[in-house]
């Protein structure tokens, strides 16, 4: 295998162009005259963060249990207070460990999306294994919630060279794992439109980077919760000023603490006070953007649901 500095131009161009941002799908207007769209998401990793790494630490498994035991109820209380619907991206193993949680969320009108099997890293898997885990994950969530997921977020936003092809095969409406814009766009595969909407993420709009703690690694929380609220608020205000999308990623085992849940509360207070923000699930926003753009939808290939 040659070193990157030895690659010829077709090689490095091929890597860059394999998965690329296509046309913007930012609509000319949001529903009901809304100024911007707000997509709140919660990655319900629960115990799978530690299970993925071997499950050797009982204490870190209990940290994941906090997410379902205390984090989710606090988050739901805030969402209910504001009548906000959100998207919960759930590893299949988390859903199997806590099926009532997923069913209850779905019954309340929240979205349950694909988030891997056991929070695995896709770039460490071969194509066959990754495909099997993604299909099994979708089957599991459908069985538990009664509705097949239409979108995915890869665990740790880890996107392998095979991920997009699998998503296309499954007929997914959207992905929320890539970073190429602030606003929705269509994903290209080797320069060709895929019919899949990307709702882009960013580490800036993720609670984990500010609060995660691993006493045996390099992760140490360093940002005060009030400062995180300020960052998230500035991201929201920027989206509002531009008439774009504000997408936020949070984790029940990270934000669901007494000293942090106010971040979600105060953010929703500010969003609600505007009076013209569309707070919706990722699936609703992705479908609206696709419809407004007249986009040909991604269709599942024969042999998949």
Degrees, nearest 5: CA angle 144-146-149: 90
Other residues' Cβ atoms within 10 Å of the Cβ of residue 299: 10
pLDDT tens for the 305 residues of the chain, in order: 789 999 999 999 999 999 999 999 999 999 999 999 999 999 999 999 999 999 999 999 999 999 999 999 999 999 999 999 999 999 999 999 999 999 999 999 999 999 999 999 999 999 999 999 999 999 999 999 999 999 999 999 999 999 999 999 999 999 999 999 999 999 999 999 999 999 999 999 999 999 987 766 777 777 999 999 999 999 999 999 999 999 999 999 999 999 999 999 999 999 999 999 999 999 999 999 999 999 877 777 655 65
Structural tokens at position 130: 């990754």
In a domain, 2, yes or no: no
Structural tokens at position 75: 């988050």
pTM of the model: 0.96
Three-state DSSP class for 58? helix
* Packed helices 225-242 and 261-274: angle between N→C axes, nearest 10 degrees: 20
In a domain, 5, yes or no: no
Rounded CA separation 169/114 (Å)? 15
In a domain, 154, yes or no: yes
Nearest by Cα to 205 from 188, 226, 182, 189: 182
- The beta strand positions in 10-77, using DSSP E, are 19-24, 36-43
The answer to whether 201 touches 157, Cβ cutoff 8 Å, is yes
Q: What is the CATH number of the domain that holds 196?
A: 3.20.20.370
Domain with 197 in it: 21-293
In a domain, 205, yes or no: yes
The total of structural domains in the chain comes to 1
In a domain, 54, yes or no: yes
Rounded CA separation 282/152 (Å)? 10
Torsion of CA 184, 73, 62, 112, to 10 degrees: -40
The answer to whether 240 touches 203, Cβ cutoff 8 Å, is no
Res 268: pLDDT? 98
In a domain, 278, yes or no: yes
Quick one: residue 243, left, alpha or beta (phi over 0 = left, psi -120 to 50 = alpha)?
Answer: left
The answer to whether 260 touches 252, Cβ cutoff 8 Å, is no
Structural tokens at position 227: 């400062």
Structural tokens at position 240: 């509002």
Res 213: pLDDT? 77
Res 304: pLDDT? 61
Degrees, nearest 5: CA angle 186-281-108: 155
Structural tokens at position 9: 């131009």
In a domain, 170, yes or no: yes
Rounded CA separation 114/12 (Å)? 31
In a domain, 218, yes or no: yes
Torsion of CA 298, 248, 108, 44, to 10 degrees: 90
DSSP letters, 64-85, are: HHHIIIIIHHHHHHHHHHHT--
Other residues' Cβ atoms within 10 Å of the Cβ of residue 74: 18
Three-state DSSP class for 157? helix
């Amino acid at each position: 295998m040659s070193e990157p500095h030895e690659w010829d131009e077709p090689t490095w161009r091929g890597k860059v162009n394999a998965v690329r941002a296509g046309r913007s799908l930012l609509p000319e207007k949001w529903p009901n005259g809304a100024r911007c769209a707000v997509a709140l998401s919660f990655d319900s990793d629960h115990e799978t963060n530690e299970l993925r790494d071997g499950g050797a630490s009982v204490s870190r498994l209990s940290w994941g249990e906090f997410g379902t035991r205390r984090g989710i109820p606090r988050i739901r209380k805030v969402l209910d207070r504001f009548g906000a619907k959100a998207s919960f991206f759930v590893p299949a193993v988390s859903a199997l460990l806590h099926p009532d949680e997923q069913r209850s969320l779905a019954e309340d009108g929240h979205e349950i999306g694909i988030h891997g099997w056991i929070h695995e890293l896709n770039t460490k898997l071969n194509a066959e294994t990754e495909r099997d885990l993604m299909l099994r994950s979708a089957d599991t969530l459908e069985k538990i919630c009664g509705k097949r997921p239409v979108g995915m977020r890869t665990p740790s936003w880890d996107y392998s060279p095979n991920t997009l092809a699998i998503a296309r095969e499954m007929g997914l409406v959207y992905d929320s794992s890539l970073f190429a814009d602030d606003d929705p766009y269509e994903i290209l595969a080797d320069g060709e439109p895929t019919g899949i909407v990307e709702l882009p993420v960013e580490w800036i709009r993720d609670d984990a980077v500010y609060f995660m703690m691993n006493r045996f690694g390099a992760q140490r929380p360093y940002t005060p919760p009030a400062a995180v609220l300020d960052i998230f608020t500035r991201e929201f205000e920027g989206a509002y000023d531009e008439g774009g999308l504000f997408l936020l990623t949070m984790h029940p085992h990270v934000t669901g603490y007494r000293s942090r849940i106010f971040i979600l509360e105060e953010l929703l207070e500010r969003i609600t006070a505007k009076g013209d923000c569309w707070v919706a699930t990722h699936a609703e926003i992705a479908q609206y953007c696709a419809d407004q753009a007249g986009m040909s939808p991604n269709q599942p290939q024969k042999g998949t649901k």
